[in-house]
């Protein structure tokens, strides 16, 4: 369940892929070696959180900087190796330590992963025992700048969401650029949304969510639902969404030294001729109507490169009268809840998302997808 396994996607030869992975390991190691010289204990949180933030930032920045310089076939090979490692390591850890079940499924022809509390699953609850109700079904569109990562790489974060919000989560393996530019991923997301409705899940029980590029894709999906007369979900949850592909705000430059993102953010492979100010790909240029735009939760880091664009997007929603819940966390970088789910700031975000579900989602414990 990774882009490298799709028809038409090229990968590198085994020796070249091995060298690419080795280069990645060296680059990340070199980056982490710099951290002790950067006063990693300083920051707005406690010492341990600050240290965790510093090491996480440097590790991800080194990973992304190296990966963006690879030819696409080597990038896909490295991605497949990481996906394989996650498939081995994460399910038993999440299952045993977190009490969350991960299962594969295919909805409307799109493969993906379900994450559910074991206490809500027929596989783990004996007949006669009362299962834990599922408060909401969450369609989660993973990040990766529209070009990378896979559902299993988000399993740890999804498990944290399951535990703290009482939801069940489906993460689709949607198509990504450059092999599949816009609107391929959007069509996959829309097919899954329709498929969930066809399985008996009411739209009032659904939350659409996403981070980074997946957050931008989530806003594109809302516009698609409106244009195709499909029911809107109960709520929308966005983590550091990439919703302004013009990338013309001051924070893109000013926050580059503090963020995990590479200083040169690639959007051309995804757009492939679509203008970056098209509201289908950049929701900041949209004109939301609260009659069809769902109540929205948005969180982001005060030191991330997308900060100013997200602030503008929030103002667009606020001016339109869309019900909003927003959090800007001091000193934090891009998608910090995904990268640091143990941090206190991340826990605050997840608790706030649980409040969103309680307020706007209609509980329906009988509306479970069939396998």
DSSP annotation of 4 = G
Residue 4 has what pLDDT?
93
72 φ, ψ (degrees, to nearest 5): -60, -35
pLDDT, tens digit only, all 371 positions of the chain: 789 999 989 999 999 999 999 999 999 999 999 888 877 777 776 777 778 788 888 999 999 999 989 999 999 999 999 999 999 999 998 888 778 999 999 999 999 999 998 877 665 665 556 667 788 999 999 999 999 999 999 999 999 889 888 899 999 999 999 999 999 999 999 999 999 999 999 999 999 999 999 999 999 999 999 999 999 999 999 999 999 999 999 999 999 999 999 888 889 999 999 999 999 999 999 999 988 899 999 999 999 999 999 999 999 999 999 999 999 999 899 999 999 887 888 888 888 887 877 888 876 655 454 44
| Cα–Cα distance measured from residue 155 to residue 159, given in angstroms and rounded to the nearest whole number | 6
Q: What is the CA 155 to chain-centroid distance, rounded?
A: 11
Q: Which residue has the tokens 């990268």?
A: 339
| Cα–Cα distance measured from residue 39 to residue 57, given in angstroms and rounded to the nearest whole number | 13
Q: What is the CA 361 to chain-centroid distance, rounded?
A: 20
> Which whole-number Å values give the CA distances from 165 to 113, 117, 168, 218, 319, in the listed order?
18, 11, 9, 19, 29
Residue 371 has what pLDDT?
43
Q: Which residue has the tokens 């659904």?
A: 206
Residue 25 has what pLDDT?
95
Residue 199 has what pLDDT?
95
With 0.75 as the threshold, say if the pTM is over it: yes
Residue 264 has what pLDDT?
84
DSSP annotation of 120 = G
Nearest to 79 by CA among 26, 139, 141, 151: 151
6 φ, ψ (degrees, to nearest 5): -80, 150
Interacting residues of 63 by C-beta distance below 8 A, sequence separation 6+:
24, 27, 28
DSSP 208-235: EEEETHHHHHHHHHHHHHHHTTPPPPSE
DSSP annotation of 132 = P
| Cα–Cα distance measured from residue 162 to residue 169, given in angstroms and rounded to the nearest whole number | 7
Tokens of 103: 């299962």
Residue 134 has what pLDDT?
83
Residue 247 has what pLDDT?
93
N residues, the chain: 371
């Amino acid at each position: 369940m990774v882009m490298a396994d799709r028809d038409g996607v090229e990968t590198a030869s085994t020796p070249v892929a091995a060298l690419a992975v080795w280069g990645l390991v060296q680059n990340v190691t070199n980056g982490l070696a710099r951290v002790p010289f950067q006063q990693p204990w300083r920051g707005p949180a406690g010492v341990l959180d600050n240290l965790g933030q510093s090491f996480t930032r440097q590790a991800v920045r080194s990973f992304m900087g190296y990966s963006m310089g690879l030819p696409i076939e080597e990038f896909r090979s490295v991605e497949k190796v990481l996906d394989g490692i996650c498939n081995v390591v994460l399910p038993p850890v999440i299952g045993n330590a977190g009490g969350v079940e991960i299962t594969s499924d295919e909805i409307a022809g799109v493969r993906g992963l379900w994450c559910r509390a074991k206490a809500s699953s027929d596989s783990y609850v004996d007949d006669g025992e009362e299962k834990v109700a599922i408060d909401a079904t969450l369609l989660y569109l993973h990040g990766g700048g529209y070009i990378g990562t896979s559902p299993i790489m988000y399993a740890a974060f999804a498990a944290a969401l399951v535990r703290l919000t009482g939801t069940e989560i489906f993460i689709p393996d949607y198509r990504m650029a450059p092999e599949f530019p816009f609107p391929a991923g959007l069509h996959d997301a829309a097919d899954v949304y329709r498929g969930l409705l066809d399985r008996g899940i009411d739209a009032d029980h659904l939350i659409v969510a996403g981070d980074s590029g997946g957050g931008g894709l989530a806003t594109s999906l809302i516009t698609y639902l409106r244009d195709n007369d499909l029911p809107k979900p109960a709520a929308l949850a966005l983590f550091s969404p990439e919703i302004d592909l013009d990338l013309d705000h001051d924070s893109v430059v000013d926050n580059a030294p503090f963020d995990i993102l590479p200083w040169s953010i690639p959007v051309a492979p995804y757009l492939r001729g679509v203008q970056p100010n098209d509201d289908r790909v950049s929701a900041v240029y949209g004109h939301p109507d609260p009659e069809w735009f769902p109540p929205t939760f948005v969180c982001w880091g005060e030191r991330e490169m997308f900060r100013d664009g997200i602030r503008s997007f929030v103002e667009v929603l606020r001016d339109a009268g869309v019900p909003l819940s927003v959090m800007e966390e001091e000193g934090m970088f891009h998608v910090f809840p995904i990268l640091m789910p143990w941090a206190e700031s991340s826990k605050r975000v997840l608790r706030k998302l649980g409040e969103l579900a309680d307020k706007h989602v209609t509980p329906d414990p009988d509306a479970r997808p069939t396998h």
